[in-house]
A and B are shown apart, each in its own frame.
Chain A
Amino acid sequence: MSHYQLDARRMLCPMPVIRTQNKVKTLHVGDTLEITCTDPGAINDIPAWCRINAHKFIDYRQDGDEIILNVEVGEG
């Protein structure tokens, strides 16, 4: 299991989701991905994307204007 990071700052919906989707395609089940965004829409969109695509949304936290979301790759 490996941990990866993705910088999606200054991207607006749906680009953070697209970048997450494309990155996850390259990872393995159980890998984790930390996504840093500035679009508050990501707080809803990335968990929704995880739910419909069978990945696990772990959590998110806000650090100033940045939102850091954590995802675990599922069977997809």
Chain B
Amino acid sequence: MSKSLVSKQPKAVALISGGLDSLLAAKVLLEQGVHVEGINFYTGFCVEGHTHAIRAKDKKKVKRNNALWSAEQLGIKLHIVDVIEEYKDVLINPKHGYGANMNPCLDCKGFMVKKALEWIKENDFDFIITGEVMGQRPMSQRKDTMPIIARESGANDLLLRPLCAKNLPETKPEIEGWVDRDKLYGFSGRSRKPQIALAEAFGFEEWAQPAGGCCFLTDKAYSTKLVDLWQSRNDQRDYEMDDIMLLKVGRHIRPRKHFKLIIGREDGENKYMEGYRKQYAHLHATSCVGPSVLIDGVLKDEDDFKLAAQITARFSKDRTKDSVTIEMTDLNGVSKAIDVKPLGSHEIQEAWQV
């Protein structure tokens, strides 16, 4: 160590996403004798869990929370914190704007480090570590933006990035001798080879590799649905948990500005959506097998009802028949039925598809 041994074991909290970089960052510090506990923030947009829990076709995949799995590999405690409400302001009013989609990555990372700072103060820990690598991500992990995260979160030199620390100024844990800077790393760039080599050196044989990252907000299709949701509500940029959950499910078709249909694509989604039938008016075919359909918005008249029924019929088993019976149930539990001719595929306008 660069200075004399400290009298007490230093304590760090590690932001654990469930991916490889945060796993390695925590491991590097554990190897130096630091007491490490993990923290994972749940924003509501984490890809973790939701989709594989819903879709029947994914039933064979191992259902595990990767942050918990990482913590278990490391042998550390993990604290999962619900930040859904607080996160709204990060998403709705990002000081540094959005990335390629609705991802406010720089504000998001700053927010999470700020929450971690609050946590270490409440729990008498000494510093924070993250798995950030300079140049790894285009918005939040650049040489010019990484200091912004440290500064705006208030963590300043209590924020240590073990995987790229050698590319950054010394932090308090290094200056105080709580960690040995010589045993930290200077990774940079988008290549994953240094991390994979380090993982192998540590003996990790498996790690999560979420395609497209671990946040739905980096997904173009999801972001489009979120913007559509806000636009349909007179640009009121707000949301409830159920809103953001349903954006992850089904086919979304908005044939009129004042209503959207959410149409289950398979059994798992249909079943999941049935749980929302008390909160949303809904449609389903009664003369044949068909999807579960939720109505987000209001059917103003019989023309709207007929159109919604024809679209529902389009996705039923009898889509090629002349008539399908569709039943709609409103929020009072009152049902009514209509026989309609299913729309043809060419009649589902491209502009309706969210």
**Contact indicator B63/A44 (Cβ below 8 Å):** yes
Q: How distant is the Cα of A40 from the Cα of B55 in the complex, in angstroms?
A: 11
The digit string for A38-63, where 1 denotes a CB below 8 A from any CB of B, is: 11110111001101110000000000
User: Size range of the interface on B?
Assistant: 20 to 34
Write the chain B residue with the least CB distance to A51: B72
**Contact indicator A14/B53 (Cβ below 8 Å):** no
A10 within 8 A of B: yes
Chain B interface, >50% SS class: mixed
Q: Residue B49 contacts which of A10, A39, A48, A52 (CB distance < 8 angstroms)?
A: A39
A29 within 8 A of B: no
Query: A18 contacts which chain B residues (CB < 8 A)?
Result: 42, 80-82
**Contact indicator B49/A44 (Cβ below 8 Å):** no
User: Size range of the interface on A?
Assistant: 20 to 34
Q: How distant is the Cα of A21 from the Cα of B71 in the complex, in angstroms?
A: 15
The digit string for B66-99, where 1 denotes a CB below 8 A from any CB of A, is: 0111011001111111100000000000000000
**Contact indicator A14/B78 (Cβ below 8 Å):** no
**Contact indicator B42/A41 (Cβ below 8 Å):** no
A71 within 8 A of B: no
Given contacts A12-B245, A18-B42, A45-B49, 19 further A-B contacts (CB under 8 A): A13-B48, A13-B49, A13-B50, A13-B53, A14-B65, A14-B67, A15-B42, A17-B65, A17-B68, A18-B81, A18-B82, A40-B59, A40-B63, A41-B63, A41-B64, A44-B63, A48-B68, A53-B77, A53-B78
